[in-house]
Amino acid sequence: MPFSPIPRGVYPSVTEIQPKQLARRGIKLVLADLDNTLVPYKVPEPTPEIVAWKQELEAEGIQLFLLSNSRKPGRAQHFAQTLGIPFQGHSGKPKRSGYLRAMERMGCTPEQTVMVGDQIFTDTLGANRSGVVPLLVRPIRLAGNPGRYIRYAVETPFRLLGERRPFL
């Protein structure tokens, strides 16, 4: 699979990714990162907007799956259970194995799957390496960690390239 850090579009937030458009493209599974993608860091439960987006996905026959690298004990599990979706913590992104294991669990192929995340060097790179379409969202909140500012600055050229090749 390609070793590419370039996403297929950059979207303002996950709720801007339209389930009807995903369904038209044959998507059956959305793998989603947790922190700074679905909710800000340390937010333990889904917002009403995320709950509504998950319901829109389901109405289109699309499954939502939480694919997280979170090492905080129980964080991904609690969030996923509250939202009523399957999850996989300690996924090891950008390694392919976490993506492949999630798709196998859900009975989907890479062609039927997208990955939604906020980071180039974990979410996007891992999705591309796994044959999954990477959809990048702008991070919800950068405040609080100087390392995030540096990482996102390094990612800027790849974000700009991704804006030029939208999937939806």
Task: Give the pLDDT of residue 1.
Answer: 54
pLDDT tens column, 16-43: 999 999 999 999 999 999 999 999 988 9
Indicate whether 5 belongs to any domain: no
pTM of the model: 0.94
For residue 157, the domain's CATH number is 3.40.50.1000
| Domain assignment present for 167 | no
Count the domains in the chain.
1
Residue 8's pLDDT is what?
A: 96
Torsion angle in degrees (nearest 10) through CA of 153, 133, 90, 95:
-80
Backbone phi, then psi, for 10, in 5-degree steps?
A: -125, 125
Question: What domain range is 121 assigned to?
Answer: 10-162
Q: Is residue 45 part of a domain?
A: yes
DSSP string, the chain: -------S-EES-GGGS-HHHHHHTT--EEEE--BTTTB-TT--S--HHHHHHHHHHHHTT-EEEEE----STTHHHHHHHHHT--EESS--TTSHHHHHHHHHHHT--GGGEEEEES-IIIIIHHHHHHTPEEEEE--S--TT-HHHHHHHHHHHHHHHHHHTS---
Q: Report pLDDT digits (tens) over 159-168.
A: 999 999 999 8
**Residue 120 domain-assigned?**
yes
Condensed to tens digits (0 to 9), the pLDDT of residues 85-95 reads 999 988 999 99
Residue 168 included in any domain: no
